[in-house]
Amino acid sequence: MKILMVCLGNICRSPLAEGIMQHLADENGLGWDVDSAGTGRWHIGEAPDRRSIRAARNHGIDISKQVCRQFKRTDFDEFDHIFVMDRNNLSDVLDMARNEEQAAKVKLLLGDKVVPDPYYDDSLFEPVFELIENGCKDIIKGLR
């Protein structure tokens, strides 16, 4: 199973989602491959935001080696499921889908709720970690 996590910048939320989901999948011996990307291009080539690296490290997960990349159309072919953080990500990714099969791969990570953008609020990184972790656990329950 190949899973892609998508947010706006690919430096705060989706790197956490990649790290958390890969960690949980490995722990459960699922053999899943998890990646992440951003709809925007500002941070291409950069490491995740220090605050996300710290939040993950506090929970025993190392995301410091990840490198930011932009979401691209071929991701629809490469991945089985594409999980987005908020409704802007959802419409940006769906706008790039070429058919119903591709569009059907795209869902909000939290089902009917959004993961708020923590970029301008340091206090949001820990709650965002927990939201994403709970979302990933639910997804594993649903897909395994």
Neighbours of 61 (CB within 10 A): 19
Build a one-symbol-per-residue string for 10-29: x at contacts with ligand 4NP by CB under 6 A, - elsewhere. xxxx----------------
Quote the tokens at residue 88: 């802007």
Q: How far apart are CA 20 and CA 41, in angstroms?
A: 23
Using an 8 Å Cβ cutoff, are 10 and 38 in contact? yes
117 belongs to the catalytic site: yes
CB of 24 to ligand 4NP, least distance (A): 19
136 belongs to the catalytic site: no
Among 3-11, 73-81, 93-101, 130-138, which window interacts with ligand 4NP (CB under 6 A)?
Answer: 3-11
Using an 8 Å Cβ cutoff, are 43 and 9 in contact? yes
- Of the two residues 30 and 88, which places its CB atom closer to ligand 4NP in the complex? 88
Q: Under DSSP, is residue 67 helix (H, G, I), strand (E, B) or coil?
A: coil
Among 33, 88, 97, 119, which residue sits at the site for ligand 4NP (rule: CB under 6 A)? 119
Quote the tokens at residue 2: 């190949």
**Residue (of 75, 52, 78, 83) closest to 65 by Cα position:** 52
Among 4-12, 28-36, 70-78, 129-137, which window interacts with ligand 4NP (CB under 6 A)?
Answer: 4-12
13 belongs to the catalytic site: yes
Q: How far apart are CA 131 and CA 138, in angstroms?
A: 11
Build a one-symbol-per-residue string for 39-58: x at contacts with ligand 4NP by CB under 6 A, - elsewhere. ---x----------------
Stretch 69-98 residues interacting with ligand 4NP (CB under 6 A): none
Binding site for ligand 4NP (CB under 6 A): 7-13, 38, 42, 117, 119
